[in-house]
Structure 1
Amino acid sequence: MIAVGAYGFAYGEPDRLLYPTDSNGSLCGKDEYADRPNLFFFDLLKCLKMGASVVTHGCPTPQVCVAECPSSTWTWYKQEFDEKLDSTKKADRAKYMFCKEGVNPQLSSKSLNELIEDGDCAPYTLPSKPIVGRCIPEIKAEFFEKLQSYNVTVNSSELEDGRDYLAIFLNAQEYGMKILQDVRASWHMCLVGLAMAMVLSFIWIVLMRWIAGVMVWVTLVLFVGIFGFATYYTIDKYLTLKDDSSSNTDVKFVASLDYYKNLSKTWLALAIICGTILGITLILLIFLRTRILIAISVIKSASRAVGSMIFTLFWPLIPFLLQVILFAYWGAAAIFLASSGSTKQYSLDPSNASEIVQNSLTEVAARIPCDPNKNSTLGSVCNFVKYGGDEYTAYLQYFMLFMLFWVMNFIVALGQVTLAGAFASYYWTMDKSNLVSFPVAKSLWRALRYHLGSIAFGSLIIAIIQMIRVLLEYVETKLKSYDNDFVKYLLKCLKCCFWCLEKFMKFINKNAYIMVALYGKNFCTSAKKAFFLLMRNIVRVVVIDKVTDFILFISKLVVVGIVGIVAFIFFSGDAKGLVPIDSISDYTAQNKPELNYYLIPVIIIVIGTYVIASGFFNVYNMGVDTIFLCFLEDEERNDGSADKPYYMSSDLKGILGKKNKSDETD
């Protein structure tokens, strides 16, 4: 990966992607074209009507670098009038024209018709503004109407389509600029919001030590109460409507919800669904109450472990920084690779543009390599399309994407092994007051010294599955033009299977890494041991996993909700009436930045808060999984004797009815 990146850095030129490129492959605003920073399209409408395919096929109209975009409307009458014009009028007309480099309409031996038809000069111009270095016409109906009246060789529907595409582009650009302005104006406030999210997540995890059990039971009671009431209500509605002849008609598919609301069969179906869920929940609570108590006790043990090793909460910052560095390196290398190699120019017949959009032409048939300094192929326009060699650049990009997946998963796995080692050292310490110093640092050292091979192998498996999923998405995109139901069905099945396989392997990997941290065995041995241990306790595993997921989900909602509400109140400027303290509402009104869209910083803070909360609670989740696996190992290999005492907490021993000999002595 480093070697491929070095190749890209050595031969790539990112300026090629930043500056617009004319038909000859020259950079506008760079080197000898430094005084001509804008790219002018002879007929921009032909680019716009191609849609997204313009990226791969190029725009089928000549493009030249110009110092300034056109500021006036000019069009060519498709008539042989050059001979009737004297030199003064001819020169006056020429100053409004945009032509290829070296072509002077005043001195050219060609007539104006020939210059236009040969693609040497633009057939018309519209007042334009430079947007990202491209001359984009202003959206004014009168210009298009005037252009239409001048009998330009594009029909009215193409003009309308072009105007719509331009409007979308300009609106998107305008929104983008306003959003960027809002981010610049509120970035410091966003950082304050994210810092608040970190503090709140930290406080919430500390509180989980005391409220985890309360949260679980309150939620279960509310769940039963809600579905109990729903079952009663739906049965009552069914009994009310079942004797009404108008509500017992055959069910029809209509758009109105009121129709279904007045059918007795609707309420019967809802009653069956609610009653089934209620019954299953009650059965699970009755028969799995002991396992739910185990789940709560494990969660409390994880909370105590986190409280004893506070640095575990800040550990996710290290993998996060490593992932940012990796992504930055990969992005830079990808940009340099994309800009490496020589210019690639192809000819494309403008008449084929609509067929390309409809995917009736293949890329090979639509594009023919050409030389802009020679005659164009088959009368079409020879244009620059991209940089790079198709023979190897694409494969290097695929390789870099695979390496991104592999190293990203490697960093995640390193973090999991490190946390697993720290939490395991907590569990297997009988006297928690004698916990080893710097447990996270020592666990990291063990992972780097002994377990890098297992980490690399496990992350490689996930990376291969993710790469296969990417290839399936690519194949599906390529086959969209073929209306084959069997192929669509097959691809959907493959995508679903590999999605499930990735989820399953991530679950296996996570528990395998815990075993790697516990026993120091290789990945395959640890994965096998973890898998069979979990299968022997599958009911406990499901209950622990789902209860933990639910608690963490609620916790994330609480943290994100609190921070999101505070951010909304602050940036909306409507603190009065919502905040009871006048000084706070006055401070909010005075310090709120001027924004185009006040929801932009709110959205940024909410997304950032979710990411931060996920980082904190993933540590908590890893603690629960590690302590649970240690608990299963403890239960199987120890018997409470003096030689083999239980290391589990007193809560767990009480739930399972187990004791150590030392407990009886005490």
Structure 2
Amino acid sequence: MDPDGELPANKYGTPIKHDPNFNGPRSKRGCTDVIFLILFVCFLGAWGYVAFYGFTKGDPQRFLRATDSNGRKCGVDSEVLDKPYLFFFDLTACANPKTLLNGCDTPQVCVKECPSESWSSLPYRNNIQRFDARSIQSSLVCVDDRVKSTVTTVQRLTEVINNRQCADWYISSRPLYGRCLNLVGSLTQLNRPNLNDGLSSYQLMLSGWIKNRSDSDQYIEVMGKVIDDLYKSWRSIVVVLVITILVSLLYITLLRWIAGIMTWLSLIALLALLITLSLFCYKRFDYLKKNGPDEVNSSMIQGQLEELGNNETLFLVLTIVFGVIAAILFLLVVFLRGRIQIAITLIKEGSKAVSNVISSLFFPIIPWCLQALIMCWFIIVLVSLGSVGEQVFKARFLQTADCRCTGAYLDLKSADVCSPQLFSELCKSSTNGPCRDAGCHFSRIDSPSIVTYFHIFNAFGLFWAVWFVMGLSDMILAGTFAKWYWTMDKRKVPFFTVTGSAGTAIRYHLGTVAFGSLIIAICSFIRACIEYLEKKTKAYDNSIIKALFCCLKCFFWCLENFLRFINKNAYIMCAIHGRNFCTSAKDAFNLLMRNILRVVVLDKVTDFLFFIGKLVITGGIVFGAHFLFFTPNRLKLNYDSTVPLVVIAVGAYIIASIFFGVYSMAVDTLFLCFLEDCERNDGSVEKPYFMSVNLMKILGKKNRKDKKVK
């Protein structure tokens, strides 16, 4: 190893030689890895065929068909063949969060058509003179149509409503995906004169959450208050998140001046924390050794945590662990302080690059949108393929069923395959009407075996397409920041650098992106298959199988992260030199290995500083939002500022992560450019350094010609 910490050159390739014609990303280049681009295009064509097969052979509506409270699919099962729409007795029951897990907690029946008028039973129950049995029977919607004919008195009307056999009220609605809904204008209809006396009590329920909840349903009440708080504060949340974007931009800009202060203060604080923890654990260990475990008292955490707190060996181990980590960190700071300073300077350079090419911060919006479209496409194809095949219906007979079948269904038994149309024709009740407590119900879809392979193909397509978009984004950003670094006078960096880099990547290097994304997509797909197989084998509860899956998951997780590291650096080298994926990956790997100590220090210092930056932005935004927007409680929130602040914290951290993701790509690109600059040039008139003056000062180097390098 040489004095500067690099490995011998002959072990990891020859250092890059000076090229007088090289002044940044090469303009003269050819298409790379064309074979893999052709393969990717063919794959997209095959994916399109899979989608076409699903669209033409399948019927996604099968998944959207509604099911009533008795498990019958409206318009499909024998009893409801002529009733394609689902009617909800109480639409407000569909407004609580339990709906996502358990469905609407209200009777649901299949109807021939959705009600075109609003109706309420309350006027008839309150005023017996208004009671009109025939009119009420025509307006009622009941679980069983035969119940309608029994409603001839106010008492009977009240009885069937209390027993949830018939709907108490409803509003006019239209079918939406087979459901009778009216999401627009509900409250306006409630103000009609003929409904004021019957439906005014439901206005609050339809506009929000029911306030009169039972003690047994506190969860729903809490969730209702949470949503109410979000509804009241959503404008403030949006404003704060917009401010977060501006603060992130400002913070990244300020890092060129405060990166050093932040890094050294953070390292010192971390070292102090480790020493404090080590001393605390030692004092606790010494106390337990002399006095023994503490007695149980109600103020302490009970159970296993209390046992850990009295574990003498545990605190001895923690003392050693924290002490060793603190010692290692101290030695690293002392002996690698020079390389830490290089990492800090490169972070400052990254801040300059991002600030000078501000459009790079907003460029990721495009790949995010593309990834969202890919995900939507995957789901559509998945649903379409899942609906391909023959629908299988099976007979269902309850013990109390009044049903007799004739003809081909004379010996029909429960769970036998049947046809809803034939069942409705051949099976009748004792009164020659529709069967009671019996029917021919949808069971499953029998798909051809090829559909299974198409599902696998569709899943792999998701991985490859997503990684392709991410790889293309990395290459475009790499070309952008490489152009910035290799421009001697930063004021001459083209305004449309991002656009130019995108044009170069799309014109010449889509094949390289396809190659790199294919490699990592295969690894990600294998990981997903392992996760799937692990879930399938959980029922066996075999310790050997668990250990095997654990090892496989760990191995492929490490492999995927290594491949992502190789891919990113290969894209950077390809964006600079225009070579194919394998050559770029080899050059990047050798260059990094020749400077391995700098690589490790830069990676850890940048990750640590970026993490601190995310926490600073998130904490500052939450703290400021609390005092500027939610103190005092002007919005009259149920839980003060807790709910909106949690949403703001999550949103602020995500936004900060997005901005720092671009920043991280800038630092990685500038680092490779810096390493190449050190090998390619020597500061002479013929070979001037492109790095900044600050970097040259840290390395003890300078350009011999009197040039201003910014």
Worse-matched range after superposition: 379-388 or 637-646 = 379-388
Residue of structure 2 aligned with 1:472, choices 524, 530, 542:
530
State the distance in 2 between where 1:665 and 1:630 align. Answer: 19
Q: Kindly tell me: are residues 487 and 190 of structure 1, through their superposed partners in 2, closer, same or farther at Cα, counting changes over 3 Å? A: same
Separation of aligned partners in 2, 1:98 and 1:431: 79
Alpha-carbon distance, 1:468 to partner: 1.4
For 2:363, the equivalent position in structure 1 comes to 315
Q: In structure 2, what is the equivalent of residue 214 of structure 1?
A: 261
Structure 1 residue 178: Cα displacement: 6.7
Tell me the CA shift for residue 226 of structure 1: 2.6
Cα gap change, 1:340/1:663 in structure 2, threshold over 3 Å: closer, same or farther? Answer: same
CA shift, 1:191, in A, is 2.5
**Sequence identity of aligned pairs in percent?**
40
Q: CA deviation at 1:339?
A: 4.2
- Residue 335 of structure 1 deviates from its aligned partner by 3.6
- One of 522, 526, 537 as aligned partner of 2:584: 526
CA–CA distance in 2 between the matches of 1:327 and 1:202?
Answer: 29
SS in structure 2 of the partner of residue 272 of structure 1: helix
Measured against aligned partners, the alpha-carbon deviations of 1:138-188 in whole angstroms (never above 9, x if no partner) come to xxxxxxxxxxxxxxxxxxxxxxxxxxxxx9999888877776666555444
Distance 1:312 1:407, change over 3 A: same
C-alpha contact (below 8 Å) 1:642/1:661 kept by paired residues: yes
Partner of 2:683: 640
Mapped pair 1:271 → 2:329: no
The equivalent of 1:401 in structure 2 is 459
Alpha-carbon distance between aligned partners in 1 of 2:227 and 2:489, rounded to the nearest angstrom: 55
Q: 2 CA distance for matches of 1:468 and 1:337? A: 22
- Distance, in Å, in 1 between the alignment partners of 2:569 and 2:257 is 27
Q: CA RMSD in A?
A: 4.5
Deviation at 1:229, TM superposition (A): 3.6
Residue 502 to residue 380, structure 1, CA distance change in 2 (3 Å): farther
Distance 1:407 1:414 in 2: 11
Give the letter aligned to residue 37 of structure 1: F
1:445 lines up with 2:490 in the alignment: no
Instruction: Out of 267-276 and 499-508, give the one that drifted further.
Output: 267-276
User: Which residue matches 1:5?
Assistant: 51
Contact 1:20 1:27 in 2 (8 A): no
Post-superposition shift, 1:601? Answer: 4.1
Name the CA shift for 1:128/1:398 in 2 (closer, same or farther; >3 Å). Answer: farther
How far off its partner does 1:642 sit? 2.2
Deviations 1:315-373 (A, max 9, x none): 1122222222333333334344444554333568999xxxxxxxxxxxxxx98755454
What is the DSSP-based 3-state SS (H/G/I as helix, E as strand, rest coil) of the residue aligned with 1:550? helix
| Cα distance in structure 2, aligned partners of 1:300 and 1:231 | 34
For residues 555 and 438 of structure 2, what CA distance do their matches in structure 1 show?
46
Structure 1-normalised TM-score? 0.69
| Structure 2 contact 85–179 (Cα < 8 Å) conserved | no
Moved more, 291-300 or 218-227: 218-227
The CA distance in 1 between the partners of 2:419 and 2:219, in whole Å, is: 35
What is the match of residue 297 of structure 2? none
Higher deviation after alignment, 649-658 or 186-195: 186-195
TM-aligned CA deviation for residue 474 of structure 1:
1.6
Give, in whole Å, the separation in 2 of the partners of 1:168 and 1:616: 45
Do the aligned partners of residues 256 and 397 (structure 1) sit closer, same or farther apart at CA in structure 2, a change above 3 Å counting?
closer
CA distance in structure 1 between the partners assigned to 2:619 and 2:84 by the alignment = 51
Check 1:275–1:595 CA distance in 2 against 1; reply closer, same or farther (3 A cut): closer
Quote the residue 2:473 is aligned against: 415
Q: 1:461/1:621 Cα in 2 relative to 1: closer, same or farther (>3 Å)?
A: same
Q: Is the 8 A contact 2:82 2:112 kept in 1?
A: no
Q: Is the 8 A contact 2:73 2:80 kept in 1?
A: no
Quick one: higher RCO (CA 8 Å, sep 6+), 1 or 2?
2
CA contact (8 A) 2:142 2:166 kept: no
Q: 2:663 aligns with which of 597, 602, 620?
A: 620
After TM superposition, the structure 1 = structure 2 runs for residues 404-553 of structure 1, keeping only pairs within 5 Å, are 404-553=462-611
> Secondary structure of the equivalent of 1:661?
coil
Q: Which moved more, 1:500-509 or 1:393-402?
A: 393-402
Structure 2 counterpart SS, 1:648: coil
1:111-134: CA deviations, max 9, x gaps?
xxxxxxxxxxxxxx8658899999
Amino acid of the structure 1 residue aligned with 2:361 = L
Q: Which amino acid aligns with 1:33?
A: K
Quick one: which amino acid aligns to residue 540 of structure 1?
A: R
If the length of structure 2 is used for normalisation, what is the TM-score? 0.65
Unmatched segments (≥5 aa) in structure 2:
1-46, 90-100, 104-108, 121-139, 150-162, 171-175, 181-213, 295-301, 400-413, 428-436
Question: Match of 1:201?
Answer: 248
Question: How far apart are residue 465 of structure 1 and its match?
Answer: 1.6
CA distance in 1, matches of 2:382, 2:533: 22
Distance 1:446 1:347, change over 3 A: farther
Map of 1:19 onto structure 2: 65
1-structure distance, mates of 2:496, 2:310? 66
Q: Is the 8 A contact 1:183 1:600 kept in 2?
A: yes
413-422 vs 24-33, which deviates more? 24-33
Q: Secondary structure at the match of 1:662?
A: coil
Of 331, 335, 351, 1:287 maps to 335
Matched, 1:659 2:709: no
- Kindly indicate whether the alpha-carbon contact (under 8 Å) linking 1:568 and 1:599 is maintained by their aligned counterparts in 2: no
Q: Secondary structure at the match of 1:645?
A: coil
Aligned residue in 1 for 2:345? 297
1:170-189 equivalences under 5 Å are 186-189=233-236
Q: Name the CA shift for 1:178/1:241 in 2 (closer, same or farther; >3 Å).
A: closer
Q: Deviations over 1:229-267 (max 9, x none)?
A: 44445445555665x37479xxxxx94656665666554
- Over 3 Å counting, the alpha-carbon distance change for 1:636 and 1:596 in structure 2 is same
2:449 partner SS? coil
CA distance in 2, matches of 1:665, 1:34: 78
Which of 239, 245, 270 is matched with 1:192 structurally?
Answer: 239
Cα distance in 2 between the residues matched to 1:665 and 1:173: 67
Alignment of 1:631 onto 2:674: yes
Shift of 1:206: 0.8
Note closer, same or farther for the CA distance 1:500–1:482 as it changes in structure 2 (3 Å cut): same
Q: List aligned pairs for 1:42-441, cutoff 5 A.
A: 186-235=233-282, 244=290, 246=292, 255=303, 261=309, 265-346=313-394, 370-372=418-420, 373=422, 383-386=441-444, 389=447, 391-441=449-499
| Distance (Å, rounded) in 2 between the aligned partners of 1:368 and 1:641 | 89
Pairwise CA distance, 1:21: 4.0
Amino acid in structure 1 at the alignment position of 2:83: Y
C-alpha change, 1:325 and 1:67, in structure 2 (3 Å) is: closer
